[in-house]
Copies of this chain bind each other. A is one copy, B any other.
Amino acid sequence: MPITTPPRLLLGPGPSNAHPRVLEAMAHPLVGHLDPSFLELMDEVQDRLRGLFGTRNEMTLPLSAPGSAGMEACLANLLEPGDDVVVGVHGVFGGRMCEVSSRIGARVTRVESEMGTPLDVSAMADAIARVRPRVVAFVHAETSTGVLQPVPEIAAAAHDAGSFVVLDCVTSLAGLPLELDAWGVDAAYSGTQKCLSCPPGLSPVSFSERAVTRVRERERPVQSWFLDVGLLAGYFGGERVYHHTAPISAVYALAEGLRVVDEEGLAERTRRHRAASRHLIESLAPLGFEPLVEEGFRLPPLTTLRLPAAVVERGEADVRRSLLLDHGIEVGGGLGKLAGTIWRIGLMGENAREANVERLVAALRATLT
């Protein structure tokens, strides 16, 4: 009895549709996680991830769990109980960073800004200078609001205070240029199911040498054995010692997904994401959808739009349901405070194409009339 889930155009906040070559790679027969042929593939994956992250960090690797685990890995390795962390919160995922940090036992200072706006850089800098925290954490690409947060100034303030910088790049990796090394980011995490056009399940992460040194000098071991970068280094560093069994098929998929990205080139891919998002905003304006985020801070892979009265009156969840069940198109609703008032429309990776915008607009017109 084969899997019979129906065809979907995935224009929500993720997963996006996987590239056909990625799906084909998933079906390739398994080898062992210590097989020389697999280790060679893992080298390639780590190297291509370094390119997309804009880093030379040796500890750049696909963590064997989703982006939320990547977030936890970055924070749990760098924070010890009692440490201070300043978290910039401009959406749900910044809020999650606070929750994760507080469970680690860290003292959390939240610097909030309105959902839909970027962080206030001077408020962040003030908090950092005052608290001088172990870690400064914030979100580059807020999937809950569609805000793209500028990084360098906040990272510089963090370094002035001797802090480590943790950055959420879940919805930016492979859709926009990242420059971890130039920006001074010490630990970053992403997901495979957004701009990489791979299935969900892995979290590409990168740790600077300074971060890895810090992990090795901790007073208490990292609370999670599974996420301890010191132990992960045994497998993902040069020695290839068994830690846990790598998810072979997901790594095949990521390897192929990364090849597709590199064949296109990140510059062209970035241009394509920007063009598709612009086209989306222009095409939905006549229907009354208005961008939530000010120009200049919009996240091309994920556009957030305030809903027109026609959609609110019909019940926005019902309209989305009709798009999904009658037209095979998934778009995302709002999260947290924005639930019921916005949609989140992802044009990520392979899906960032004007033809997909046309399809969505046609389906929406049909649904609303």
A: residues with CB less than 8 A from B are 1-8, 10, 12, 14-15, 17-18, 21, 23-33, 35-38, 41, 64-69, 72, 76, 96, 99-100, 103-105, 191, 193, 199-201, 221-226, 242-250, 252-253, 255-256, 259, 324-325, 330, 335
Contacts and interface: CB of A to CB of B under 8 A. Distances in A.
B30 A27 contact: no
A359 to B, nearest CB: 16
A30 B3 contact: no
Contacts of A248: 15, 199-201
B256 A3 contact: yes
7 contacts: A8-B32, A8-B35, A68-B244, A103-B222, A201-B247, A201-B250, A247-B250
A12 to B, nearest CB: 6
Contacts of A7: 29
Closest 10 CB pairs of A and B: A201-B247, A65-B65, A199-B249, A26-B26, A27-B27, A68-B244, A5-B37, A3-B28, A200-B245, A5-B31
A193 B243 CA distance: 15
A75 B69 CA distance: 17
Given A5-B28, A66-B245, A200-B247, 17 more contacts: A5-B41, A12-B32, A15-B33, A23-B27, A26-B249, A31-B330, A36-B325, A67-B245, A68-B225, A68-B244, A96-B225, A103-B222, A191-B245, A193-B245, A199-B248, A200-B248, A249-B250
B222 A5 contact: no
Contacts of A41: 3, 5
Contact of A15 (B32, B105, B225): B32
A252 B15 CA distance: 15
A244 B66 contact: yes
Contacts of A244: 66-69
Given A201-B249, A245-B14, A250-B199, A68 B226 contact: yes
A301 to B, nearest CB: 15
Nearest to A27: B27
A65 B223 contact: no
Identical chains bound together, number:
2
Contacts of A191: 245
Contacts of A193: 245
A259 B1 contact: yes
Q: Report which residue of A68, A72, A96 has the largest number of chain B beta carbons within 10 angstroms of its beta carbon.
A: A68
A2 B18 contact: no
B223 A103 contact: yes
A29 B28 CA distance: 15
A342 to B, nearest CB: 15
Given A2-B256, A64-B65, A246-B200, A225 B27 contact: no
Contacts of A103: 221-225
Contacts of A256: 1-3
Contact of A2 (B25, B249, B324): B25
